[in-house]
Amino acid sequence: MRLSTCRSLWSARPALLRRGLAAKAGKASSAAEAKPLAEAVGSISQPSDRPATDYPSWLSNLTEPGKTLGELKRTPAEQRSNHDDMRLLKLSSRAAIKSINFSKAKGI
């Protein structure tokens, strides 16, 4: 084998192998050595079911979807709250970034 071929093969190996971080041949872990999940996290206590009155009122609002970009654009500026204005700004910025990234990826 030529020296240049050896060098190209070496450079193609993953960095982990060169650093010695890959698994050794005789040290492969087996499924028999692994602990069951319940045993591994057995010391963690399970959360208790508490009544809804124990939680703050705003917590239930976190699961509700917010207004979409189209809905916010259709709403007149006088009728939007500060929260809606901030959401409009955030969603508009995301849409602009996605558009720019798409055009860069397609080479447009």
Q: In whole angstroms, give the CA distance from residue 32 to residue 82.
A: 57
- Once rounded to an integer, what is the mean pLDDT over residues 55-69? 89
- What gap in Å lies between CA 68 and CA 99, rounded to an integer? 17
Mean pLDDT of 4-8: 51
pLDDT-above-90 percentage for the chain: 37
Residue 87: which of 65, 72, 74 has the closest Cα? 72
pLDDT beyond 80 at 68:
yes
| Percentage of the chain exceeding pLDDT 70 | 56
C-alpha to C-alpha distance for 17 and 9, rounded to whole angstroms: 12
Identify which has the larger pLDDT, 93 or 38: 93
**pTM (2 decimals)?**
0.48
Residues 68-72 have a mean pLDDT of: 95
- Identify which has the larger pLDDT, 22 or 86: 86
User: 40 vs 30, 36, 43, 44, 46, CA distance in Å?
Assistant: 16, 6, 8, 9, 14
88 within 8 A of 100, measured Cβ to Cβ: no
Of the two residues 55 and 44, the one the predictor is more confident about is: 55
